[in-house]
Amino acid sequence: MAEKIIYLDRGFRQEFIDKMTELAPNYVIKTELEPTDLMNVEISLGWNRQYERELLASPGLKWVHSISAGVDTLPLTAFSEKGILLSNGSGIHSESIAEHIMGVILGYSRGLFQAQKAQAKKEWLGTHVHYQPLEKQKLLIIGTGQIGKMVADKADSFSMVSYGINTTGHPVEGFSQTYSLNEVEKVVADMDIIVNILPLTEQTKGFFNYELFKKFASHALFINVGRGASLKTADLVQALNEEQLAFAALDVFEEEPLPEKSPLWEMDQVLITPHIAGLTSDFQNKLMTIFLANLKSYVTNQELKINEVALQKGY
């Protein structure tokens, strides 16, 4: 009988390899694959594009676990057609991203970014700094999943008022009101801060375009920690130049690293962070908590316990 392989696209600490072996003693664990291994891979932790064609052609592949929460770069249609299970890393980065969002809101609202720029010129701005207390500020969180809820919770300790947007507009605890994606144009004008945490899907691609930015309040702060392609970068640049909104803090970009020729680098009303919002410590431990829970249920009954991705929805 051919061996069954769990393929890991990167190395993990021995303690985790040991636990995998204990939970799935009938599998061989490999971090490098020979050509003859490819048709025996049943479980893939991470998705190595180098093996994509062979793995999708093999009848052996049953379950892919994505390291990240976003699965927009994976061949979802092929997975769906072949009945391959997919789970993701949702939750690992949530607390970090929520902290990043609050840091950006506070850094902007307390004039810290402006002060740091002035420091480089040995300039003492004093009361000329732009500031805005957070109390009663209206925060629109687009994406009311785990990260969105964490942000709403933290925003509450600053007496901000959180509004949410999700696919259907269903109510979510911690949000003073929620709306559906289709209603976004109606509500943005009234918001002080707009945060995008949406996954990238057909519906959210290019979602933030010039027409939408035109509806923003001119003092609005826009934060994108979702996906770069949710945003039409050229449209944002135009909207900022026309003062349709006041400031944008961007952590994700249509092309990464952000090309040197991008006008965003030099814009005074833009903070660029290099896709760092999700950085977290003890990453292996957090990833393995999810993967091992799923491995246990997979070997028992071929089902995933947590974080299964609905392939039709894409998240």
Q: Confirm or reject binding of residue 258 to its own copies (CB under 8 A).
A: yes
Q: Which of 42, 99, 130, 275 is catalytic?
A: 275
Known catalytic membership, residue 275: yes
Whether the CB-CB separation of 130 and 114 falls below 8 Å is answered with yes
Interacting residues of 21 by C-beta distance below 8 A, sequence separation 6+ = 29
Q: Confirm or reject binding of residue 153 to its own copies (CB under 8 A).
A: yes
Applying the rule CB under 8 A, the residues between 180 and 219 that interact with its own copies are: none
Residue 104, both tokens: 């950006």
Applying the rule CB under 8 A, the residues between 273 and 292 that interact with its own copies are: 273-277, 279-281
Known catalytic membership, residue 65: no
- Coil/strand/helix, residue 64: strand
Helix ranges restricted to H, 110-188: 112-120, 146-156, 184-187
Give the separation between CA 77 and CA 234, rounded to whole angstroms. Answer: 30
Give the separation between CA 229 and CA 207, rounded to whole angstroms. Answer: 8
Termini Cα distance of the chain: 36
Give the separation between CA 178 and CA 73, rounded to whole angstroms. Answer: 29
Q: Hey, what's the torsion of the CAs at 175, 180, 184, 189, to 10 degrees? A: -40
| Closer residue to its own copies, CB minimum distance, 118 or 293 | 118
Q: For its own copies, which stretch binds (CB under 8 A), given 18-26, 164-172, 180-188, 269-277?
A: 269-277
Q: Confirm or reject binding of residue 173 to its own copies (CB under 8 A).
A: no
Interface pick for its own copies out of 31, 58, 132, 177 (rule CB under 8 A): 132
Closest CB 128 distance from its own copies, rounded Å: 8
Interface pick for its own copies out of 103, 169, 174, 228 (rule CB under 8 A): 103
Known catalytic membership, residue 266: no
Which residues contribute to the site for its own copies (CB under 8 A)?
95-96, 99-100, 102-104, 106-107, 109-113, 115-120, 122, 124-127, 129, 131-135, 153-154, 156-159, 256-258, 260, 265-266, 271-277, 279-281
Residues acting as catalytic residues: 227, 256, 275
